[in-house]
DNA sequence: GTCTATATTTGGATAGAC
DNA sequence: GTCTATCCAAATATAGAC
């Protein structure tokens, strides 16, 4: 521990990520990032010449890779869509630590975050939705409906994370995870036979 | 414009609110708050001796009042639950500017926000859920189920706001608002007869 | 490749004039 | 009740030794 030893990029990102997750882009100070990583500020600038901006983008990219591994494709592609969706729900519970972890899509999309990061968030969220929709299409769901349900899935995940955080109670997120697969595979929606689509305003 | 004229508390809060909404607690700087309000920093401290903390709490309290007026009780109490829920959906669209406005429950619940503000958010979110649940009970829904649906409503609202912000597209929020009333009043849920509740992990 | 030390700007908050 | 001017701490970022 006496000598400065190099830390791998992967390890480094895994230590920086919790700071960005918890504090958001603006809230994550270099002092905190330095302490969390065990590297002095100048060393962080050596690894990330573009500073905090580059750190945030790298953390976001790593999160997307981990999400893809943990949640989008944890079950073998040969498994049934239902099995894969249950595996996805399980992966989401792990990825978000049962609802205690903040989602970067949430904290990095607020104003004040640099545009480059926000653009990454936008494309990442779109890929996330598309990934879920693809799975639902494989399950025999109409593409347009699959797209809607992919959005619904992300909406429920993000909303449950916000509510669990606000209430300081993981129950909402756990409940959403529990009904995740069934909600996405529910029958043809049977939309209110007598009033098709609610025609308000 | 020559003489300093007093501004009403209500007007003042309505000018401070967008800054907190857009930037969150930490992101909202006194420089921005000063510019948005038209008051010098020292004048803001005269109005709010406890500084930014007091401003945030006052803005949050005002938002809760406006939410109560716009969304929770815009339709006459005599109206049917379905009518009141449609009115609520309409009020939500207005309150969140069609999905362009951030929710304070989201941005004020992140770490870095003072505990006093986070506590306000927690109780406010709980009241919000309870308000919706009460309405559903009046509609004849079982109290436990009404509570769940109240949480679901807030989850969908918060999630849709996050997604609309992340994608820079109001469509997700608009879609949630459109199906809001019908989703909350849907039939008995008919929960997956053959596998009650998904027994994973 | 990491460190200590520092430059520079911006943050929240105050003093005191009017 | 608002202003200008200022204080001090913390922010991002860099210089230069090792």
Most trustworthy range by pLDDT among A186-195, B159-168, B188-197: B159-168
Tokens for A84, please give them.
């894969």
State the pLDDT at residue B199. 46
* Per-residue CA distances from B168 to A98, B97, B110, B173 (Å): 28, 13, 21, 11
- Is-contact A164 A173, C-beta < 8 A? yes
pLDDT bracket for residue B191 (50, 70, 90): low
State the pLDDT at residue A3. 44
Nucleotide nearest B37 (Cα, C1'): D2
Radius of gyration of chain A from its Cα atoms, rounded to whole angstroms: 19
Nucleotide nearest B28 (Cα, C1'): C11
pLDDT at B101 over 90: yes
Whole-number Å distance, CA B13 to C1' D16? 49
CA distance A38 to chain B (A): 21
Chain A residues touching B22 at Cβ < 8 A: 110-112
3-state secondary structure of A46: helix
User: In whole angstroms, what is the distance from residue B151 CA to residue B153 CA?
Assistant: 5
Radius of gyration of chain B from its Cα atoms, rounded to whole angstroms: 19
Nucleotides of D under 7 A from a protein CB: 1-6, 10-16
State the pLDDT at residue B167. 98
The answer to whether B125 contacts A197, with C-beta atoms less than 8 Å apart, is: no
pLDDT at B26 over 90: yes
* Partners of B111 in beta bridges: B113
The answer to whether A106 contacts B111, with C-beta atoms less than 8 Å apart, is: no
Residue nearest to nucleotide C15 (CA to C1'): B42
The sign of the CA dihedral A156, A160, A162, A163 is: positive
Better-scored residue on pLDDT, B8 or B35: B35
The answer to whether the beta carbon of residue A127 comes closer than 7 angstroms to any atom of strand C is no
The answer to whether B178 contacts A197, with C-beta atoms less than 8 Å apart, is: yes
- Is-contact B48 B61, C-beta < 8 A? no
pLDDT bracket for residue B3 (50, 70, 90): very low
Interface test with B, best of A155, A178, A184 (most B CBs within 10 A): A155
Whole-number Å distance, CA A117 to C1' C1? 27
Chain A residues touching B90 at Cβ < 8 A: 200-201
Q: What mean pLDDT is predicted for residues A186-196?
A: 59
With both helix axes pointing from N to C terminus, report the angle between A115-138 and B143-167 in degrees, rounded to the nearest 10.
120
pLDDT bracket for residue A200 (50, 70, 90): very low
Q: What mean pLDDT is predicted for residues A88-106?
A: 97
pLDDT at A190 over 80: no
Q: How many CA atoms lie within 13 A of A50 on its CB side?
A: 9
The answer to whether B109 contacts A172, with C-beta atoms less than 8 Å apart, is: no
With both helix axes pointing from N to C terminus, report the angle between A143-167 and B115-138 in degrees, rounded to the nearest 10.
120
Q: What mean pLDDT is predicted for residues A187-196?
A: 56
- Is-contact A25 A113, C-beta < 8 A? yes
User: In whole angstroms, what is the distance from residue A186 CA to residue A168 CA?
Assistant: 30
Q: What mean pLDDT is predicted for residues A61-72?
A: 92
Tokens for B108, please give them.
């004020």
Nucleotides of C under 7 A from a protein CB: 1-5, 10-16
User: In whole angstroms, what is the distance from residue A153 CA to residue B173 CA?
Assistant: 13
- Per-residue pLDDT of A7-19, as tens digits, reads 889 999 999 999 9
Q: Which of A109, A148, A176 sits opposite B155 (nearest CB)?
A: A176
């Amino acid at each position: 521990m006496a000598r400065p030893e190099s830390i791998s990029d992967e390890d480094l990102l895994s230590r920086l990520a919790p700071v960005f997750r918890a504090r958001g882009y603006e809230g994550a100070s270099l002092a905190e990032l330095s302490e969390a990583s065990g590297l002095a500020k100048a060393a962080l600038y050596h690894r990330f010449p573009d500073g905090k901006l580059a750190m945030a983008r790298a953390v976001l990219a790593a999160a997307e890779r981990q999400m893809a591994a943990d949640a989008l494709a944890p079950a073998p592609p040969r498994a049934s869509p239902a099995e894969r969706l249950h595996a996805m729900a399980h992966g989401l519970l792990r990825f978000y630590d049962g609802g205690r972890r903040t989602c970067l899509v949430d904290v990095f999309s607020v104003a004040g975050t640099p545009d480059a990061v926000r653009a990454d968030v936008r494309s990442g969220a779109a890929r996330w939705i598309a990934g879920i929709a693809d799975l639902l299409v494989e399950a025999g769901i109409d593409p347009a409906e699959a797209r809607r349900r992919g959005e619904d899935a992300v909406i429920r995940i993000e909303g449950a994370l916000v509510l669990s955080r606000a209430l300081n109670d993981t129950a909402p997120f756990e409940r959403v995870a529990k009904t995740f697969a069934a909600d996405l595979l529910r029958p043809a929606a049977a939309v209110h036979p007598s009033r098709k689509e609610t025609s308000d305003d």
